Structure 1
Amino acid sequence: MRTELNVLIKKQAADKIRKGFPLIEQTALVRALPKVDEGAILHLFDESERYLGKGYYGKQNKGIGWVLTKDQHMKLETTFFNSHLKKAIEHRSEFLTSEHTTAFRLFNGEGDGIGGLTIDCYEDYYVFTWYSEGIYSFRDDIYEAFQQIINFKGIYEKKRFAKAGQYVEDDDFVQGERGEFPLLVKENDVKFAVYLNDGPMTGVFLDQKDVRKRIKEHYSKGKSVLNTFSYTGAFSVAAALGGARKTTSVDLAKRSLPKTIEQFSINGVDYEAQDIVVMDVFQYFKFAKKKGKRFDLVILDPPSFARSKKHTFSAAKDYTGLLEEAIAITEKEGVIVASTNCSTFSMSKFHMFIKEACKRQGKQYEIVEQYSLPKDFKTTQSFGPGDYLKVVFIKLKK
């Protein structure tokens, strides 16, 4: 039996919730909650005791829970989750029937009405990612609802609710049939090898599908391409298939070498004709400048926060400096694809980083296009941080 609590919300926060803001923040509470199990039902009221909505208690880095409904009598059981999953599936109907893209996001947390949960599709396998013990406590109802409305080969899950949101090491397989890995999926006809049973990441970040397509179709032909923080080389593969003269992939992780070779190979690209470098990106910038290397297209897609032996990188503090390093090795009239998944600053703030970096380097520039999350990563206007992805194509002028 779940605990149910009445919770008073401060005026300003109550006004936000009325407008659709889904996150329950610790600072919004009039009084601190008593000790309660994750997954407890929270009935939210303003200070005049007017009903605001119903949600659940679940701590994650963004808050202490999520509002799920404004209906006081709605039961948070299988039928409720079934309804939300059906709407999410309708929104992705073009992906579910596509022959060109078989890896996409089926359910995107608060954008689809249930904060703390995402579901990704890889062919006919699905990966559920749970971001708090609170939402995980609804696991049985959610899986039952999912089974009622979609056919699948197998289900895997990732639990991201350890201390500081870290991944919980466990057997990721849930039900159905186990996959054979690598599993080959398609994204706009580009193949990617993914592993659903090997840690928190699968091998490709699905939120960059539109950007990779654009790079492949419009920015790669005949160009020298540098892909920094390259992970498994997905941007490099897209560029190579788009006719790049040569790609250089740089990542500090040793696994990036065999993983990038694999991605090139399954797409019929000669990986020996490409450069795959295992090195700290900032050390590579120094190396490239020393050797006089310059690139027509430079891709910057760093993590929001990263630490190596010699560098600590925070996107909010250090992106301007990263851009300066990139500008220094970009050809005249070259293009820098600047990307960040950091949700703590806005696109306008990101533009300020770009302006400052170009000013320091004495470069004139033009922003030729920009991207946020693709259609399958559904967001809600009432929750800005949910639309976290910011990608800007910067063309340098002579």
Structure 2
Amino acid sequence: MDAPVGLTYVFGRLPVHGAQELTLRGFPLRIKDIIVDQQLIIAAGREKSLFRRHPWIFSGAVAAVKGRPKSGQTVDVLGQNGQWLARAAFSPKSQIQGRVWTFDADERIDAEFFLRRIGQSAARRRSLETESDALRLVQSESDGLPGLILDRYAAVLVFQLLTAGAEFWRAEIIAALRTLFPDDAILERSDVDVRAKEGLAERIEAVHGEIPELVEIRENGVRLLVDVRSGHKTGFYLDQRDSRLAVGRAAAGAEVLNCFSYTGGFGLAALRGGAKNVTQLDASAPALDLAVRNRDLNGFAPESMTTVCGDAFQILRAWRKEGRTFDLIVLDPPKFVDSKASLTRAARGYKDVNLCAFHLLRPGGRLFTFSCSGLMEDALFQKIVADAALDAGSTGRIVRRLTQAQDHPVALAFPEGAYLKGLEIEVE
């Protein structure tokens, strides 16, 4: 039986018999591996971003969709003149209708592609100078794998599939992880809101091995218990590793306030650095309970750390009225900006919380303040913090700019990958 017209296997035309599987270099080759002349045709004048190798194709840039690609299926991206531009994952329900897998016309999207790309991404982390057994191994677009996040906590892999394309290749991604990390347990944490924009339901699933209730990791001399099943993100804020180290180096002899503390990472780094005492403030009682367990795990005295559960904005205002002060304050709030429409409201929130912090800082104190909102530009964030200092009657200078750790790289052609920004500020 001849292959149907337009059905081309990865290497030449081959006969297809229903759902029959073939093998290619040891990998199963199924119907999903076939290219069915599915194409995105880019509108005239909208190819420029692709020439710059930006991996996103917005729906407004698409002049036509040829064939009947399913959600997540691979499509060839062509210009109006028929010029081949890229190979991408199709997402009909998202404003980002295509996410580029490759700009190489000879590179096919198949099981070997994911094995190769994930392996290359993980290998790049081996050269990083970090004292930690917890790292991000794949950072989505910045590692050439749009929609895939992969973190490793000791011997437990936690991955997220954020896009239709990553979801389409789920089985192949898992197979690659099993091959590359045969001794690791694997957990999927695709329980993020962004999947809804791709028409996907949330999912948490233990894929391989035993997933412990808590995984112990080590970071710059601090031991930490991580809840990979239900903790924030994939369990911990790995992107703040370098900033925690900076806080520890500045904390000797200081009374420290860690706001939005989660499981206490910044506060524990401060204690490791010689802080006099630390107050951990968070709205989650379970997170603070784990912070206490982390304190005990590291052998810090019970009196060295206090936990306070409640709304940070209300508590900071109350402490200001009481005249309470600190030598070092960390502000690492959750993402306030989820759309351009919410930017103004978010700016007010950032100003409010930074204003409170400036009022609570002693002369000569340090403020470590952060925004993890990608839509919040660096210059705007600095202006907001400067306005807060002015309103508080404080004078400060930026000692250091802080950003996401090295295992969260930013591809040159993808500036959107730079989302975390922070300032270390010394006040007079």
Q: TM-score, normalised on structure 2?
A: 0.83
Q: Which among 141, 145, 167 is matched to residue 136 of structure 1?
A: 167
Q: Distance in 2 between matches of 1:226 and 1:232?
A: 14
- Residues 229, 235 of structure 2: 8 Å contact kept: no
- Residues 164, 200 of structure 2: 8 Å contact kept: no
Q: Which amino acid aligns with 2:245?
A: K
Match status 1:83 vs 2:116: yes
Q: Which among 355, 358, 372 is matched to residue 389 of structure 2?
A: 358
Q: Which residue of structure 2 aligns with residue 187 of structure 1?
A: 219
- Residues 254, 276 of structure 2: 8 Å contact kept: yes
Match status 1:239 vs 2:244: no
Q: Which residue of structure 2 aligns with residue 383 of structure 1?
A: 414
| Residues 68-123 of structure 1, C-alpha deviations (whole Å, 9 max, x = no match) | 1123343211111122122212211146x97x310010111111101100110111
- Residues 203, 232 of structure 1: 8 Å contact kept: no
| Residues 315-373 of structure 1, C-alpha deviations (whole Å, 9 max, x = no match) | 44421222112111111121110111100022222222222222222322110001222
| Residues 30-83 of structure 1, C-alpha deviations (whole Å, 9 max, x = no match) | 247998532122221223332210110247877234101123343211111122
**Greater mean alpha carbon deviation, residues 57-66 or residues 372-381:** 57-66
- Residues 236, 248 of structure 1: 8 Å contact kept: yes
Q: Distance in 2 between matches of 1:389 and 1:71?
A: 30
Match status 1:92 vs 2:121: no
Q: Which amino acid aligns with 1:124?
A: A
- Residues 223, 297 of structure 2: 8 Å contact kept: yes
**Greater mean alpha carbon deviation, residues 190-199 or residues 261-270:** 190-199
| Residues 243-289 of structure 1, C-alpha deviations (whole Å, 9 max, x = no match) | 11111111112223212111211111234432201110011112211
- RMSD of the TM alignment (CA)? 2.7
* CA apart distance, 1:26: 2.1
Give the SS at the match of 2:63.
coil
Q: Which residue of structure 1 aligns with residue 307 of structure 2?
A: 276
Q: Distance in 2 between matches of 1:59 and 1:299?
A: 41
Q: Distance in 1 between matches of 2:154 and 2:413?
A: 32
Match status 1:208 vs 2:273: no
Q: Which amino acid aligns with 1:292?
A: G
Q: Distance in 1 between matches of 2:200 and 2:91?
A: 16
Q: Distance in 2 between matches of 1:140 and 1:48?
A: 36
Q: Which amino acid aligns with 2:77?
A: L
Q: Which residue of structure 1 aligns with residue 3 of structure 2?
A: none
Q: Are the structure 2 counterparts of residues 306 and 52 from structure 1 closer, same or farther at C-alpha, using a change threshold of 3 Å?
A: closer
Q: Which amino acid aligns with 1:10?
A: A
Q: Which among 342, 364, 375 is matched to residue 373 of structure 2?
A: 342
Q: Which residue of structure 2 aligns with residue 263 of structure 1?
A: 294
Q: Distance in 2 between matches of 1:368 and 1:325?
A: 20
Q: Which amino acid aligns with 2:411?
A: T
**Greater mean alpha carbon deviation, residues 67-76 or residues 361-370:** 67-76
Higher relative contact order (CA 8 A, sep 6+): 1
Q: Distance in 1 between matches of 2:207 and 2:251?
A: 40
Q: Which residue of structure 1 aligns with residue 184 of structure 2?
A: 153
Q: Are the structure 2 counterparts of residues 171 and 45 from structure 1 closer, same or farther at C-alpha, using a change threshold of 3 Å?
A: closer
Q: Distance in 2 between matches of 1:287 and 1:183?
A: 36
- Residues 42, 55 of structure 1: 8 Å contact kept: yes
- 1:110-129 alignment runs, 5 A limit: 110-129=141-160
- Residues 226, 249 of structure 1: 8 Å contact kept: yes
Q: Which amino acid aligns with 1:53?
A: A
Q: Distance in 2 between matches of 1:327 and 1:165?
A: 41
* CA apart distance, 1:182: 1.6
| Residues 117-159 of structure 1, C-alpha deviations (whole Å, 9 max, x = no match) | 0110111111111102331110111222233333332111111
Q: Which among 196, 200, 212 is matched to residue 163 of structure 1?
A: 196
Q: Which residue of structure 2 aligns with residue 104 of structure 1?
A: 135
Q: Distance in 2 between matches of 1:131 and 1:60?
A: 13
Q: Distance in 1 between matches of 2:84 and 2:70?
A: 23
- Residues 60, 131 of structure 1: 8 Å contact kept: no
Give the SS at the match of 1:226.
strand
Q: Are the structure 2 counterparts of residues 152 and 60 from structure 1 closer, same or farther at C-alpha, using a change threshold of 3 Å?
A: farther
Could you list the runs of 5+ residues in structure 1 that have no partner in the other structure? none
Q: Are the structure 2 counterparts of residues 48 and 164 from structure 1 closer, same or farther at C-alpha, using a change threshold of 3 Å?
A: closer
Q: Are the structure 2 counterparts of residues 164 and 22 from structure 1 closer, same or farther at C-alpha, using a change threshold of 3 Å?
A: closer
Give the SS at the match of 2:38.
strand
Higher radius of gyration, 1 or 2: 2
Give the SS at the match of 1:151.
coil
Q: Which residue of structure 2 aligns with residue 318 of structure 1?
A: 349
Q: Which amino acid aligns with 2:356?
A: E
Could you list the runs of 5+ residues in structure 2 that have no partner in the other structure? 1-30
Q: Distance in 1 between matches of 2:378 and 2:232?
A: 27
Q: Which residue of structure 1 aligns with residue 81 of structure 2?
A: 48
Match status 1:225 vs 2:256: yes
Q: Distance in 2 between matches of 1:296 and 1:315?
A: 26
Q: Which amino acid aligns with 1:351?
A: Q
* CA apart distance, 1:192: 0.9
